[in-house]
Amino acid sequence: AQSVSQHNHHVILSEAASLELGCNYSYGGTVNLFWYVQYPGQHLQLLLKYFSGDPLVKGIKGFEAEFIKSKFSFNLRKPSVQWSDTAEYFCAVINTGRRALTFGSGTRLQVQP
């Protein structure tokens, strides 16, 4: 069965610090990869996605992610975080065998002003 691992459960950063959140998945076939964000009390919103092509993808609000197929990884990055980035971040994978998202356990990011 497919699984997604997010190794950072809770990250605390100061404003302007750089961010990198790890994500690894276990499926060996064709996958599409996503990062979703959930702001406090809100629903999930798409940050960015990877389907094919350039493994470095850019999303909204200055976020980017790099797909490294050999490492089964899709890490999320942002050069300089803001207080408004405080939220929970979910990595998710979908594969050809099952059209539903498999989510990681989430990373709670707290940005201190």
Partner 1 sequence: DAGVIQSPRHEVTEMGQEVTLRCKPISGHDYLFWYRQTMMRGLELLIYFNNNVPIDDSGMPEDRFSAKMPNASFSTLKIQPSEPRDSAVYFCASSTSLHGGMNEQFFGPGTRLTVL
**Which of 36/78 has CB closer to partner 1?**
36
Binding residue (CB under 8 A) for partner 1 from 23, 75, 81, 106: 106
- Structure-block tokens of residue 73: 């990884």
Q: Residue 101 CB, nearest distance to partner 1 (Å)? A: 6
**Which of 19/92 has CB closer to partner 1?**
92
- Is residue 2 a contact point for partner 1 (CB under 8 A)? no
In eight-state DSSP terms, residue 34 is E
- Per-residue binding string, partner 1, 24-63, x by CB under 8 A, is -------xx-x-x-----xxxxx--x-x------------
Residue-by-residue DSSP string for the chain: ---EE---SEEEEETT--EEE--EE---S-EEEEEEEE-TT--EEEEEEE-SS-SEEE-GGG-EEEEEGGGTEEEEEESS--GGG-EEEEEEEEETTEEEEEE---EEEEEE-
Task: Tell me the number of residues near partner 1 by CB under 8 A.
Answer: 24
- Is residue 110 a contact point for partner 1 (CB under 8 A)? no
Instruction: Write out the residues near partner 1 by the rule CB under 8 A.
Output: 31-32, 34, 36, 42-46, 49, 51, 90, 94-96, 98-106
